[in-house]
Amino acid sequence: MFTELSADHLPTTAKEFWLVNDKKNPTILFAGNNIGEDYLFELTSFLKDKKFGVINISKSGTTTETALAFRLLKKQCEDQRGKEEAKDVIVAVTDAKKGAARTCADKEGYKSFIIPDNVGGRFSVLTPVGLLPIAVAGFDVKQLVAGAADMEKACGKDVAFEENPAAIYAATRQALYTQAGKKIEIVCNFQPKLHYFAEWWKQLYGESEGKDQKGIFPAACDFTTDLHSMGQWIQQGERSIFETVISVETPNEKLLFPHDDENLDGLNFLEGKRVDEVNKMAELGTRLAHVDGGVPNILVNVPELNAYYLGQLIYFFEKACGISGLLEEVNPFNQPGVEAYKKNMFALLNKPGYEAESKAIQERLKNE
């Protein structure tokens, strides 16, 4: 059992429900992406008396969420396994030379993997940040990387715009934003396994494009589930949205509708049909309804859910994100806005070095 620590946990959870683990490999649990006391208490309680290791993913080692969780789990692992044994199951994914996590790894003798200097957290799925936990969980990272490499070729500089899927997607969404007034993009899927992939997509585009008072707001819906909550708004709400539908052509399994003698639910007309056939008609019917309701649709087809095509999908969205940000005339590779809340949090916690900020924020709170 391995616990992964990372504030940017979504690159790995994007893969979390794609494939069925054969249970021969460790279970991956996540921490370091929130400061929920109940969650961390329940996690440490669950890990009590269990053999577990820790993958500490942090370029600096000082990100609050990750550092707090690592301190808790490092101590628990050492208490339960002994310091010598614990150092063999604690792994650092961090900067090559600097930072608290690098210092700790070198001092304790942890095995470590490098986060490239020029790759931000949300773009790091195809680095050790994502590949190590995915490999530990027993999935085929070679196929994941192979898919990404093939998509890199398909989106290369020498590929004409009309044949470049990443360029077409980036240009289309920016045209909808700047020329049609569509300020919200909803990534939709009809496969539960894509839930966390969509969560990663939200981080990828939100952090990359939301700058200078500009940017398409990234949202996500899991259909058909969210048709029973968000479907009404999408169909008849403000026409400021467009959808990007990730459509999976072939499921990995086969399940047929059975016959029922009483037919109380009236579904015998589906007898012998695959569940996926019904899902496909729900998808097509939804797309037609939303287009009729004034919601433009972008369709992204995925042949099947496996590591190879996931690698393609990851690279496709990453490449398109860079292009789209540049078309928007922002830097898609930084995220300066996230420092604002951290500054306030440290001031409120009276962190050393934030004395002036602490005084200013306390005065502000008195006057509100």
Domains recognised in the chain with CATH numbers: 2-139 (3.40.50.10490), 144-334 (3.40.50.10490), 339-366 (no CATH)
Q: Compute CA distances 92 → 75, 134, 188, 354, whole Å.
A: 15, 15, 34, 29
pLDDT of amino acid 168 = 98
Catalytic residues: 207, 228, 342
Q: What integer best gives the mean pLDDT of the chain?
A: 92
User: Whole-angstrom Cα distance, residue 193 to residue 273?
Assistant: 22
Per-residue model confidence as pLDDT tens digits over 196-227: 999 999 999 999 999 999 999 999 999 999 99
pLDDT of amino acid 19 = 47
For residue 302, the cross-strand partners are 248
Q: Compute CA distances 332 → 121, 233, 298, 328, 335, whole Å.
A: 12, 30, 22, 9, 8
pLDDT of amino acid 274 = 96
pLDDT of amino acid 339 = 83
pLDDT of amino acid 294 = 98
User: Whole-angstrom Cα distance, residue 365 to residue 348?
Assistant: 10
Q: In what order do the strands lie in the sheet with 28-31?
A: 28-31, 2-5, 53-57, 90-94, 111-114
Q: Compute CA distances 213 → 156, 172, 174, 329, whole Å.
A: 30, 20, 15, 12
Split the chain (368 residues) into runs of 10 and give each run's mean pLDDT: 58 50 76 93 95 93 92 96 95 95 96 92 93 91 97 96 98 98 98 95 96 97 97 98 98 94 95 96 98 98 96 98 97 89 89 90 88
pLDDT of amino acid 4 = 58
pLDDT of amino acid 26 = 84
The backbone torsions φ and ψ at residue 54, rounded to the nearest 5 degrees and listed phi first, read -135, 130
Which candidate, 59, 14, 69, 62, places its Cα nearest to that of 39? 69
Which candidate, 99, 128, 98, places its Cα nearest to that of 115? 128
Which candidate, 227, 216, 220, places its Cα nearest to that of 196? 220
pLDDT of amino acid 17 = 40
pLDDT of amino acid 336 = 87
- Cβ-based neighbour number of residue 242 at 10 Å: 22
Angle among Cα 221, 225, 229 to the nearest 5 degrees reads: 75
